[in-house]
Amino acid sequence: MLGKIILEEAFALPRFEEKTRWWASLFSTDPDTHVKEITDITKLRLEYADKHGVGYQILSYTAPGVQDIWNPVEAQALAVEINDYIAEQIKDVPDRLGAFATLSMHSPAEASAELRRCITKHGFKGALINDTQRSGPDGDDMIFYDQPQWDPFWETVTSLNVPIYLHPRNPTGTIYAKLWADRPWLVGPPLSFAQGVSLHVLGMVTNGVFDRHPTLQVILGHLGEHIPFDMWRINHWFEDRKKHLGLQETCKRTIRDYFRDNLWITTSGHFSSETLRFCVREVGWERILFSVDYPFETFGDACGWWDGEELGADVVRAIGRDNAKRLFRLEGFRDCDA
């Protein structure tokens, strides 16, 4: 289909080429191409988009990004630099490229102010956060945003009426040493990414973030970071056991309610029709958004899959474009009505 929208699409600052190359060496068999693709903003990306029928893309800073920086002053300065850089890069192609804000998540007040600046000054479409914020004197602590002190941030997000993409980052410090160091091939897409994000978002669910902020919209990549496949069991244990043991105090609705009202999932990096069909049944096509996960995945793989998908023209168009148009209140872009 033409005019597809994609929204888990990474870029990196050219001055971090060395770090980008290191990250690429963990995940890519062709680090040179990866570095070229992730630092390019308007050339290669738009060529791929034209070739594969993508009308509009929302770009975000690559993982682990600012969430890897435990010095709060440095983290804030880098977030501002990234936001101003990408705003400048995309300003002449607003019908093709948008951006998610990058936020330092050391302080709810600072994160709120930077998000507000990015939405009002730069017209960004929300923010993408790479899971927990590394913190503490040696970066071994982690900040989760499911605690009450983050309520002012979630209040800002809902008042600005923009979604937050909760994206993975890699395990670090003691967590890495204890869980992953002896099984390093499981870091990333095979397991650690989904574990990190599902712990975080289910923490938000059970600690009442969505009850206190009922209009909050959070997007999960990779077809929901394993949660849809566990929906029945999570629901069973929340409703039939944990709510009778005290969960009812903080978590008022069912896990399926939160997926209907607050959560979205994207197809980033997960191009399986079988899995997608399961998600359509469990989560509903209204809450699913097409995405690529470039440059960790290719436009060809993602779009080739999507353009052959046989879910029915209306559902393919909704997931491929119209759901995102509605969520982000998008106006005209390349092939938006094709």
Give the span between the Cα atoms of 47 and 162, in whole angstroms.
28
- Smallest separation (angstroms) from ligand GRE to the CB of 206: 25
31 makes contact with ligand GRE (CB under 6 A): no
| Residue 7 or 111 having the CB closest to ligand GRE | 7
Residues that contact ligand GRE, how many (by CB under 6 A):
9
296 makes contact with ligand GRE (CB under 6 A): yes
224 makes contact with ligand GRE (CB under 6 A): no
Q: Provide the 3-class DSSP secondary structure of residue 97.
A: strand
Residue with tokens 């990333």: 188
269 makes contact with ligand GRE (CB under 6 A): yes
173 makes contact with ligand GRE (CB under 6 A): no
Q: With the CA atoms of 59, 62, 66 and 69 taken in that order, what torsion angle do they form, in degrees rounded to the nearest 10?
A: -170
The interaxial angle of helices 44-52 and 299-307, nearest 10 deg, is 20
| Residue 90 or 187 having the CB closest to ligand GRE | 187
196 makes contact with ligand GRE (CB under 6 A): no
Q: Enumerate residues 6+ apart whose C-beta is below 8 A from 91.
A: none
| Residue 2 or 179 having the CB closest to ligand GRE | 179
Give the span between the Cα atoms of 70 and 81, in whole angstroms.
17
| Residue 63 or 101 having the CB closest to ligand GRE | 63
108 makes contact with ligand GRE (CB under 6 A): no
The pair of structure tokens assigned to 105 is 């998540």
User: What single-letter DSSP state applies at residue 86?
Assistant: H
| Residue 119 or 219 having the CB closest to ligand GRE | 219
Among 293, 306, 316, 320, binds ligand GRE (CB under 6 A): 293
Distance of CA 296 to the CA centre of its chain: 14
- Smallest separation (angstroms) from ligand GRE to the CB of 146: 21
- Smallest separation (angstroms) from ligand GRE to the CB of 189: 5
225 makes contact with ligand GRE (CB under 6 A): no
- Smallest separation (angstroms) from ligand GRE to the CB of 287: 20
- Smallest separation (angstroms) from ligand GRE to the CB of 16: 14
> In 209-312, which ranges are continuous DSSP H helix?
209-212, 222-225, 231-240, 255-261, 273-282, 299-307
| Residue 188 or 228 having the CB closest to ligand GRE | 188
What are the DSSP calls for 104-146, one per residue?
A: --S-HHHHHHHHHHHHHHH----EEEESSEEESTTS-EEE-S-
Among 27, 161, 314, 332, binds ligand GRE (CB under 6 A): 27
63 makes contact with ligand GRE (CB under 6 A): yes
11 makes contact with ligand GRE (CB under 6 A): no
> In 181-298, which ranges are continuous DSSP H helix?
192-206, 209-212, 222-225, 231-240, 255-261, 273-282
| Residue 193 or 238 having the CB closest to ligand GRE | 193
- Told to judge if 251 belongs to the known catalytic residues of this protein, a careful annotator would answer yes
72 makes contact with ligand GRE (CB under 6 A): no
What are the DSSP calls for 11-31, one per residue?
A: E--GGGHHHHHHHHHHH-S-H
Q: Given 251, 279, 303, 336, which residue is catalytic?
A: 251
Q: Enumerate residues 6+ apart whose C-beta is below 8 A from 327.
A: 163, 217, 264, 289
Distance of CA 279 to the CA centre of its chain: 17
Residues of this chain that bind ligand GRE (CB under 6 A): 10, 27, 62-63, 188-189, 269, 293, 296
Positions annotated as catalytic residues are 251
